[in-house]
Chains A and B, each alone.
Chain A
Amino acid sequence: SYELTQPPSVSVSPGQTASITCSGNKLGDKYVCWYQQNPGQSPVLVIYQDDKRPSGIPERFSGSNSGNTATLTIAGTQAMDEADYYCQTWDSNIGVVFGGGTKLTVL
């Protein structure tokens, strides 16, 4: 099997930079996506192929992936960014894998 590990929670002050990590064996050799999910809503793709933003996603969202860790960075975090965030990859042996999710709190 293949597992992605995320911290359960991350806190950030408004206007500061939030970093959410996602760890997996040789994750840097795979493509990583990130999703934002607000309570009661469907997930939204915010980063794909490690560091690309879909149209409509603010520039303050960025991603990186190297070694065993991928990171979602939110610069100038706003109250509206408070949500659950999930990393995801495709493992050639088992298919799509999600991380356990990180609750981002803006306080």
Chain B
Amino acid sequence: QVHLVESGGGVVQPGRSLRLSCATSGFIFSFHAFHWVRQAPGKGLEWVAVIWFDASKTYYADSVRGRLTISRDNSKNTVYLEMNSLTVEDTAVYYCARDPEQLPRADNYYGMDVWGQGTTVIVSS
């Protein structure tokens, strides 16, 4: 069975850092790109970042570029989101999502076909 399991969320003070992990199983990890998507309490979905199958390319939402970093370890079948200089606006449930493609882009976009259950990040003093 295909599984994505996020971890690493918690309560953190503004300005501090946090690293989220997304452990995967049940499919060939290196065949896929991965996204992080977040959802603030009572709000809609917000795309955060994507990383290609070989980590050769990453793209970020303007709201997080320079503070959040997506990475992956193909030997551990795991995707990461390093979060620095956190603000209260980063409070959200963070979802990891699989892309069916290795190299997603506008002309071959197939969406996000598998999602994790999410991990909650609360930024509060």
Q: Please give the residue numbers on chain A whose beta carbons come within 8 Å of chain B beta carbons, in ascending order.
A: 1, 30-31, 33, 35, 37, 42-45, 48-49, 54, 84, 86, 88-92, 94-101
Contacts and interface: CB of A to CB of B under 8 A. Distances in A.
Interface stretch (B8-16, B42-50, B83-91): B42-50
B92 to A, nearest CB: 13
B109 A42 contact: no
Given A91-B106, A97-B47, A42 B117 contact: yes
Contacts of B27: none
Contacts of B112: 33, 35, 43, 45, 88
A8 to B, nearest CB: 10
A54 B47 contact: no
A9 to B, nearest CB: 13
B115 interface: yes
- How many interface residues does chain B have, given as a range? 20 to 34
A44 B37 CA distance: 13
Nearest to B117: A42
Nearest to B118: A42
Q: Is the interface of A mostly helix, strand, loop or mixed?
A: strand
B109 A49 contact: yes
A75 B52 CA distance: 36
A45 B118 CA distance: 16
Contact of B105 (A1, A49, A90): A90
Contacts of B105: 90, 92
Nearest to A97: B47
26 contacts: A31-B107, A31-B110, A35-B111, A37-B45, A42-B115, A42-B116, A43-B45, A45-B111, A48-B111, A48-B113, A49-B110, A49-B111, A54-B113, A86-B45, A90-B104, A92-B105, A94-B61, A94-B62, A95-B60, A96-B47, A97-B47, A98-B37, A98-B44, A98-B45, A98-B46, A99-B44
B106 A98 contact: no
B58 to A, nearest CB: 10
Contacts of B109: 30-31, 33, 49, 89-90
A90 B106 contact: yes
B80 interface: no
